[in-house]
Copies of this chain bind each other. A is one copy, B any other.
Amino acid sequence: MKSRIVTFGEIMLRLSPKGYLRFCQADTFDACFGGGEANVAVSLANYGFESCFVTRLPENAIGQSAINELRRYGVNTGYIVHGGDRIGIYYLEKGASQRPGKVIYDRAFSAISTASRNDFPWEEIFKDCDWFHITGITPALSDTAADLVVEACKKAKELGVKVSCDLNYRNSLWPKNKAQITMTEICRSVDICIANEQDISDVFDMHAKESNVLTGKINKSGYMEVAEKLQKKFGFEKIAITLRESISASDNNWSAMLYDGNNYYFSKKYAVHVVDRVGGGDSFAGGLIASILFGYDPKEAIEFATAASCLKHSIEGDFNLVSKEEVDKLANGDMSGRIQR
């Protein structure tokens, strides 16, 4: 029987100018849907799991389009609640070469940020559920959203559902001190903690030595120390950290580390030509959850998760539209990109 995974959070309308146009040049926006947790839900549906995404969306044609898009890629939308006035929006301008990409959030007052406790019957939602995934973005949306996440995590823990959390700090949504308090509370229910090279420093004030994200310099041992400290603090079963070396908006090095309380597993490092880097971290989380559910060993798991997210950088939109077979093939070493007929 298929594993059942529930994710909870926000799905937004994403609006981005064509190609490398700047916002001020655009008279057309490519429109898709995405959000940290929804992106993970799609990854898991792609890998063949029963993936259920829970959110709240306004009852209008744009909200319905978000649901349609999730259904299209096989996500169970049965627990999405209708209500609220608007869907959150984010505008994305792609970067290129030395010009950084830009995100403008317009997600205040979105349906999920104004949801209430009664909207989500957690007991029913977690029935037969194997895994619950959340991120640090949803609690940053509003106080009620933070409460909802805390409550859901506790309930999951209580019901024996495994909980994973991607720290995903967004400084434009809340201040660091508030994030620290809330994320600390959430992390008490978390089994698998996922973070990128900056999150732990921002949220928990633990800094990897001799690394500088602005110059793309990454020091492995610094991240090993940080992972250990964090594991000690929260007793996580596993901690995974993605390590992005941003050479330019067009070229990134991408690798990751997994720490299981005993050993450190480092993935291969990929030299990535960026097509669309948004959702890179989410595709890593999706890959990691999947690989653990596949029963992969830690080394295989980190390779699968990193290969999955490496591929995401070559795919337009937030969703990582790849199959298990495609990820396995890359994780197993065929990096040539040769055409397949």
Q: State the A residues within 8 Å of B (CB).
A: 15, 19-32, 60-62, 64-65, 68-69, 71-74, 85-86, 89, 91, 93, 95-106, 108-109, 170-172, 213-216, 246-251, 270-275, 277-278, 307, 310-311, 313-317, 321-322, 326, 330, 333-341
Smallest beta-carbon distance A303→chain B, Å: 13
Q: How many copies make up the complex?
A: 6
Contact (Cβ within 8 A) B65 A26: yes
Q: Which are the 3 A-B pairs with shortest beta-carbon distances?
A: A249-B337, A23-B61, A72-B72
Contact A85 B65 (CB under 8 A): no
How far is A248 from B273 in the complex, measured between Cα atoms in Å?
9
A336 touches B100 (CB 8 A): yes
CB pair B32–A104 under 8 Å, yes or no, is no
Give the nearest-CB partner of A90 in chain B. B341
Bound complex: CA of A269 vs CA of B234, how far in Å? Answer: 46
Give the chain B neighbours of A338 by CB distance below 8 A: 100, 213-214, 246, 249
Across the interface, A315 reaches (CB within 8 A) one of B22, B277, B336, B340, namely B22
Nearest Cβ on chain B to A74's Cβ, whole angstroms: 7
Shortest A264–chain B CB gap in Å is 24
A261 to chain B, nearest CB (A): 31
Taken together as a complex, chains A and B put the C-alpha atoms of A86 and B110 apart, in Å, by 13
Cα A270 to Cα B249 with chains together (Å): 13
Q: Given A30-B28, A336-B216, check contact A23 B97 (CB 8 Å).
A: no
Evaluate contact between B61 and A102: CB separation under 8 angstroms: yes
Measured CA separation A205–B208 after assembly (Å): 53
CA distance A72 to B64 in the complex (A): 10
Asked if A97 and B314 make an inter-chain contact with CB atoms under 8 angstroms apart, the answer reads yes
Say yes or no: A108 contacts B105, CB within 8 Å: no
Chain B residues whose C-beta falls within 8 Å of the C-beta of A334 in the assembled complex: 100, 214
Contact of A99 among B28, B30, B311 (CB under 8 A): B311
> How far, in whole Å, are A335 and B46 apart by their CA atoms in the complex?
35
| Residue from B26, B249, B272 within 8 A of A98 (CB atoms) | B272
